[in-house]
Structure 1
Amino acid sequence: MSTTPTIVLVHGAFADAASWAPVTRALLDEGYEVAVPPVFNRSLTGDSAYIRSFVEQIDGPVILAGHSYGGAVITVAGVAENVVGLVYVAGYALDEGESLGALQGGFPDSDLAANLVYSPYPIDGSDPGTDVAVKPEAFPDIFAAGVPKEVSRVLAVSQRPLSAVAFSEAAPVAAWKTKPAWGIVSSADHTINPDVERFGYKRAKARRILELDAPHLVMMTHPEEVAKFITDAIDELA
């Protein structure tokens, strides 16, 4: 069994595993074991349970890196016994009993709030749920700022929505209370107020906080810096 952690990259809302592609490639090129599972964006507890199950099937230690809503997911899934650290990348570091909405509610809205669209989706045996997505015309400037326009236009029409229930669902646990954490703040973020990121990381007593003059999709615009931040966290654990 390897003592070097497997790096599990967790994507957020309105994106998919491909959003991590530049960082994934950089880490693989350096010889790290990397996994990038899907997040279904249906509920915080459900998504976290899936990621925890995925992690627990890995033989050896794991370091979780979560972007955006993926930060909330690793906060809960990170209590898995083989998780040795949490890396937040422009993400939500929730407290136990806290929801995304509650954390965001303590700070001024980002530009995202006025550019969301809501649509119903069927739930077998229950009332319809509500999907939340970013207006495609606003997506390139708000969610994918800094990404080439020809790429951001494709991302805008292929985004993975987030169920509205995920905004109000409280985190049942906060793994950062027992696991070391690190955090990247995207200071030019128009999707999450950067102060939300800073507050969460400081509350989690992050070992190191890196401020980058970067947009929300920092792992696409600054992959080398993000990859190095993750590997530096691994070195600190060693």
Structure 2
Amino acid sequence: MAVLQGTGSRRRIRREHAMAAGCAMVMCTAVAAPAATGGGRTPAKPTIVLVHGAFADASSWNGVVERLEHRGYTVIAPANPLRGLYNDSTYIASVLDSVKGPIVLAGHSYGGAVISSAAAGNPRVKSLVYVSALMPDVGESGISLGARFPSELGTATRSVPYRAGGGAVGTDLYLKPDRLHQVFAADLPESTARVLAVTQRPVATTAFSEKAKVAAWKHIPSWFLVAKQDKTVNPDQERFEAKRAGSHTVEIDSSHVAMISHPEAVTDLVLRAATAAD
């Protein structure tokens, strides 16, 4: 009887050892698999933040927003205050602070100057995208860049004084309704240009006169879309800025508002920047 009990014990021990060995193999396989696949996790897609420029609002990005969301990206298109470079970039920086995870930051026109300042010192901004945009270096302004690369914008605006709370006063710039189609949106239907003229948001002159204090594109990879038919920002200025920054650059036959008239091309460029940021 004692012999039988000993044999059973040895059999149980062998079975337990075999089960333990099998479990160990499974555990080793489970631990080893993630290491071979980079942790087994799909990297989170960056949030894409789209900043509009002067004379426009966030709806100018609608076509791009729809396409990016269709591809599974979270998109934010905040209202750019258009009150001055320092004010606007501080505000957009606060919007970025509310975003968790990596960010791709895009700016159109004057919005390019804003993102160049707003992204400075934010390690979560992985890529910058400029669409027919201003891209000033430290000490430069929209006015100083425009003086080097003249465009038709200077003859297409009108000045209107404004008053704000606390006794603040300033001057707003509007596009002249009869010039908006030619200078701003020549490749859109005239009926659309008339609506843009009526709904345009004015920009304070300080947006173009204040000099940039930082230039985030010196430290963050950038992509640039040059609009070859742009009459608001000289295409040669866009090429100069993109070359200076070492931006990944594409050129298309577009007016100043490429994100409205060519949303697919703009979306493609943003996606390139987003893929690089993954």
- Give structure 1 regions of 4+ aligned residues with deviation exceeding 4 angstroms: none
**Structure 2: segments with no counterpart, 5+ residues:** 1-41
Select which of 92, 112, 119 maps to 2:153: 112
Counting only pairs closer than 5 Å after superposition, residues 20-35 of structure 1 correspond to structure 2 as: 20-35=61-76
CA contact (8 A) 2:104 2:277 kept: no
The secondary structure found in structure 2 opposite 1:84 is strand
Give the whole-Å Cα distance in 2 for the aligned partners of 1:147 and 1:100. Answer: 25
Select which of 72, 76, 90 maps to 2:132: 90
Give the whole-Å Cα distance in 1 for the aligned partners of 2:236 and 2:94. Answer: 31
Aligned twin of 2:111? 70
RMSD: 1.3
Aligned twin of 2:224? 183
After TM superposition, the score normalised by the length of structure 2 is: 0.82
Aligned twin of 1:203? 244
Give the whole-Å Cα distance in 2 for the aligned partners of 1:84 and 1:153. Answer: 37
The secondary structure found in structure 1 opposite 2:158 is strand
Point out the more displaced range, 1-10 or 81-90: 1-10
Select which of 217, 220, 224 maps to 2:260: 220
Letter in 1 for 2:172: D
Matched, 1:237 2:248: no
Matched, 1:10 2:32: no
Aligned twin of 1:121? 162
The secondary structure found in structure 1 opposite 2:148 is coil
Aligned length: 236
Counting only pairs closer than 5 Å after superposition, residues 31-180 of structure 1 correspond to structure 2 as: 31-79=72-120, 80-107=122-149, 109-126=150-167, 128-180=169-221
Give the whole-Å Cα distance in 1 for the aligned partners of 2:275 and 2:222. Answer: 13
For residue 48 of structure 1, report the CA deviation from its aligned partner.
Answer: 0.5
Q: What percentage of residue pairs aligned between the two structures are identical?
A: 46
Q: Rg bigger for which structure?
A: 2
For residue 237 of structure 1, report the CA deviation from its aligned partner.
Answer: 3.0
Give the whole-Å Cα distance in 2 for the aligned partners of 1:99 and 1:9. Answer: 21
CA contact (8 A) 1:2 1:60 kept: no
